[in-house]
Structure 1
Amino acid sequence: MTRSRTTSRSAALAALVVLALTAGGCSSSDSSAPEAGPTSGASGIGGAQPVASTVVLGRVAGDVHQPGRRIFKKHRKQVLKRVGHAADTWIDGGFVAVTYPRSDFKSAFAAFTKPAKHEARQQMQLMTNWKLRKKIDGVVVKKRKVTVDVFAPHGRPAGATARVGLVFRTTGHTTQRVTVTGRLFLSPDDHGSWRVFGYDVSNGSK
């Protein structure tokens, strides 16, 4: 089994901020009420048919008591949808919604900021199915879940951590069970989309 792990410089800072907030007694009790649902309704890249991610709300940090709770409730569904979509572009483009064998994963980092995209491209073996790209003819998804932790000062979403759990089995010449886990750190841009600016990911197979 091979396993690797990395944390980008920006992600390290984001992790410290999120941990400080969630440990500081400002977490919302909404974290016990997950809102689940598949977000990946696309037919997939290259004709592949991926299993949709289940996206649930995790912890909500910040002042989300009244009236902040009411404010966040208005944003909740949209945040889950858009953060889930950003995570899915990586999962789909880097692992499960592409055809095999292949030589690249050009669409994997479409939701990443430029600095994060540059760093991820230097770590293709970690951030995509690079190692097995020419040895398999497809994948079968066993688990695909995204848990979204939100930083929402005064109820207004300002940052999020998407905790990803992905398990799939490869088919073809090489059959392996691959597990991808980790966190994507995101913030909203000026157009309402959420962008990945850092990550902390582990990718193992056996």
Structure 2
Amino acid sequence: MPTGVHLRDARQQLFDAGERVLLRDGPNGLTSRAVTDEAGCAKGVLHRHFSDFDAFLADLVVDRAAQLEKEASALREAAGTSTVADNLTVALTSLFGPIPVAIIPLITFRDELRARLRQVMPGGGIAILAQATTAISAYLRAERDLGRIAADADIDSLTLSLVGGGHLLFVDRDPGPPTTAAVRKLVTAVVAGVERQPA
């Protein structure tokens, strides 16, 4: 890596390299050597910017989780438009895209990473799933306020059903992610009893 590269640029290059390795080789293939090889830099560059590899992974997860806020914001803004089922179908497909789905097992299998994430972000131990849960819950509450979800709907249970079901649909991406029809079928089944057409 050339000298004089700004810290933020170096961190971003390492994050992007880590993401590529994670997508290509999975959590077991994500090592400090694999990341620095992918980034085309010496191993010492990673340790100059992070105290250890788990610190790098924690910052990578936090960075990628922050990007989910764009999807969460788009979902909140969708309240009152289209249909509840359509909006949730789009949201689940986005929230459980390739990167979030690859990060979840990384968190699951690294105890030290989960411990660090708990210290730096709310729901950090299950980052990504916590982000998706918060986004969907906020959306459902907004739709309930608009009368498009039944006033007595159990938002927490609906959210858990959508997040849990969505995660199960997307977790096995071989031979590929689920079809839109499969995601819509799940969403429709979950909200069938509570979706309303306001007067």
Query: TM-score if structure 1 supplies the norm length?
Result: 0.30
Quick check: which has more Rg, 1 or 2?
Answer: 2
Higher helix share: 2
- Answer 1 or 2: higher relative contact order, Cα 8 Å, separation at least 6: 1
